[in-house]
Structure 1
Amino acid sequence: MQIENILVVSPMWKEIQSLISENKLQKNFRYVSETQVVQDDLEWADAFVAFNIEKEFDYRQVKWVHSLGAGVDSFVYKKEWPEQVLLTRTICSFGQRIAEYCLSYILRDIQFHEQFQRNKLEKRWQPITPGLLSEQKVMIFGTGEIGQTMAKTFSFLGVDVYGVSLSGKTKEYFSEVNAIDSFEDRLKEMNYIINTLPLTENTTGLFDHEFFQAVHDVGFINVGRGASLDEAALLLALEKQQVRFAVLDVFSNEPLSSENKLWEHPHVWITPHISAVTTPSEGVDCFIDTLKNIEANKPLLNKVDIQKGY
């Protein structure tokens, strides 16, 4: 595949332009903000590089679409994708970033940070023995690149890691991997549940009332997609103490409305979709590597399976 005209759409397009220019690629580039891009731009382009596009476009005019993020649901979820158009996604430090993000909240929990801070404010001397990571069981939903990196990090620290995937195929660093329709029996054993799944027909609303009925006193962390979580079901599970606390980095509607009840809940931690940020340099590096592999007709490890949605 030969690529000549490349359209880059991003709120960080100036930084991306500067980084791409350093590589002296012999291509024609057009840089546009997300609010200014129009269909005519795509008709000019051979390749479309963007992240989280909210507008509807006809991608049949281009040869290749590259997502600057790990997720591609804004391109394919509940949409018809033209089969002749290649779709790739960014793979970089997401696994490491998400692993460290989740680990920070697990350590905060087993080290009793909140309790000791309350004791300090009350000038109360009350020894509590912290837990150990080697005593914890974690179930990670999603055993792809991100899930495997998390499992590697956690298992190295002694955590007993379980996985859930579409196929249930055994993966390294997981004690056990269950298929997405057969994990319920393990739920009550878990201390923490982490969602890293992409948004597909199979994962929409996965964490619902029925799911939370099967857990007990668990920590729930969502770094996958907001639409995989039924927020009302989570709030009820918190009330029933099925869920001890929740850490939410992604939401169905972003930014999260100030009216949303999650803001006020004392056992919910909210972050603004920052657990796996694509830095401009990482995004450009992955884009350039993918471009070179495409033109050299080499295998693409970041090619999206349209049927699976990731």
Structure 2
Amino acid sequence: MNISTILVVSPMYKELQTIIEKKVPQKTFRFIPEDKLTQNDINWADALVSFNLKADYEYSNVKWIHSLGAGVDRFLYKKKWNEAVLLTRTICSFGQRIAEYCLSYILKDLQLHDVFQNQQEQKIWNQLTPKLVGDQSVLVYGTGEIGQMIAKVFSGLGVDVYGVSLSGQEKAYFKEVVKLDSHFSRLSEMNYIINTLPLTEKTEKFFNGTIFNHLSNTGFINVGRGASVDEEALLQALTGKQIRFAVLDVFSQEPLPENNLLWSHPRVQITPHVSAVTTPQEGAACFLETLMNIEENKPLKNLVDTKKGY
């Protein structure tokens, strides 16, 4: 595949320009912010490099789209896709970043940080015993690269890590992997649930009352996609104590609207989609490697199955 004109659309377009242009001077680039993008820019390009475009565009004339994030739902979710267009995604330190993000909140819970902070504010000396992370069971939805890294980090600390996937295929570091249609059998045993699933029509509002009603005093962490969670059902589960606390990094609408009830819920921790941030250096490195592999007809480890949506 011959790629000559490349359009890079990102809030970090200046940083990417500094890194990329000197690496491939033989290509013609346009580096622009998202709010300056037009359909004419896309029509000009052989390749589009972006992540979170703010509007719908026609991509069928480009040869290749590269997502600067791990997710590609912005390009595929409930949209028609021209199979002649190649779609790749960024693979970098996302797995490690998300694993450490999840671990930090689980350790915070086990070490009773909030409880002891509250006692300090009230000047109460009450000795409570923190729990050990190695005594916990965690169920990870999604056993791809990110899910596997979570399993690797957690299992290394003695955690029993279970996985849920479409196929139920066994993966390294998981004690057991179950199919998506038989995951209910494990829910009641879990101390924590972590969602890393991509957003597809199958996973939209997947975490709903049916799932939450199988839980009891469970911690819920969402680092997948916001639209995979039914927010109303989540609030009900928090009220009913099926979910003890929720850590939410992703939402159906971002930024999260000020009137959303999740902001003020005492057992919800909100972060602004930071569990796996693409740095300019990592984003540029993955793009450049992918470009080289495409032009040299080498295998693409980050190729997206557009029919599956991930």
Shared fold by TM > 0.5? yes
SS at match of 2:182: coil
Amino acid in structure 1 at the alignment position of 2:195: N
Counterpart of 1:302? 302
Amino acid in structure 1 at the alignment position of 2:175: S
Residues 122-141 of structure 1 aligned to structure 2 (within 5 Å)? 122-141=122-141
Of residues 35-44 and 1-10 in structure 1, the stretch that sits farther from structure 2 once superposed is 35-44
Counterpart of 1:153? 153
Counterpart of 2:293? 293
- Per-residue deviation at 1:54? 2.4
Q: For the aligned residues, what is the CA RMSD? A: 0.8
Counterpart of 1:21? 21
SS at match of 1:241: coil
Counterpart of 1:210? 210
- Mind listing any 5+ residue stretches in structure 1 that lack a counterpart? none
Residues 137-163 of structure 1: per-residue CA shift (max 9 Å, x gap): 000000000000110000001110000
Counterpart of 2:34? 34
Counterpart of 1:190? 190
Residues 40-189 of structure 1 aligned to structure 2 (within 5 Å)? 40-189=40-189
Residues 255-274 of structure 1 aligned to structure 2 (within 5 Å)? 255-274=255-274
- Per-residue deviation at 1:227? 0.4
Give me the whole-angstrom Cα distance separating, in 2, the residues matched to 1:43 and 1:24: 21
SS at match of 2:277: coil
Counterpart of 1:220? 220
- Per-residue deviation at 1:59? 1.2
Amino acid in structure 1 at the alignment position of 2:233: A
Give me the whole-angstrom Cα distance separating, in 1, the residues matched to 2:55 and 2:240: 40
**Contact 1:54–1:74 (CA<8 Å) still a contact in 2?**
no
Residues 150-209 of structure 1: per-residue CA shift (max 9 Å, x gap): 100000011100001111111010001111111001000000000010000111011101
Give me the whole-angstrom Cα distance separating, in 1, the residues matched to 2:13 and 2:99: 28
Amino acid in structure 2 at the alignment position of 1:182: S
**Percent same amino acid among aligned pairs?**
62
Amino acid in structure 2 at the alignment position of 1:89: R
Of residues 136-145 and 117-126 in structure 1, the stretch that sits farther from structure 2 once superposed is 117-126
**Contact 2:21–2:29 (CA<8 Å) still a contact in 1?**
no
Give me the whole-angstrom Cα distance separating, in 2, the residues matched to 1:59 and 1:68: 16
SS at match of 1:18: helix
Give me the whole-angstrom Cα distance separating, in 1, the residues matched to 2:231 and 2:55: 26
SS at match of 1:140: strand
Amino acid in structure 2 at the alignment position of 1:130: P
Give me the whole-angstrom Cα distance separating, in 2, the residues matched to 1:55 and 1:114: 41
Give me the whole-angstrom Cα distance separating, in 2, the residues matched to 1:158 and 1:22: 46
Give me the whole-angstrom Cα distance separating, in 2, the residues matched to 1:180 and 1:128: 38
Amino acid in structure 1 at the alignment position of 2:130: P
Amino acid in structure 1 at the alignment position of 2:2: Q
**Contact 1:72–1:89 (CA<8 Å) still a contact in 2?**
yes
- Mind listing any 5+ residue stretches in structure 2 that lack a counterpart? none
Counterpart of 1:233? 233
**Contact 2:187–2:215 (CA<8 Å) still a contact in 1?**
yes
Q: How many residues align?
A: 310
Give me the whole-angstrom Cα distance separating, in 1, the residues matched to 2:251 and 2:24: 38
**TM-score under structure 1 normalisation?**
0.99
- Per-residue deviation at 1:24? 4.1
**TM-score under structure 2 normalisation?**
0.99
Of residues 171-180 and 114-123 in structure 1, the stretch that sits farther from structure 2 once superposed is 114-123
Residues 49-99 of structure 1: per-residue CA shift (max 9 Å, x gap): 111112222111111000001000010001111010000000000000000
Residues 238-269 of structure 1: per-residue CA shift (max 9 Å, x gap): 11110000000000011111111111110000
Give me the whole-angstrom Cα distance separating, in 2, the residues matched to 1:97 and 1:163: 19
Of residues 89-98 and 30-39 in structure 1, the stretch that sits farther from structure 2 once superposed is 30-39
Give me the whole-angstrom Cα distance separating, in 2, the residues matched to 1:111 and 1:34: 42
Amino acid in structure 2 at the alignment position of 1:192: Y
Amino acid in structure 1 at the alignment position of 2:224: G
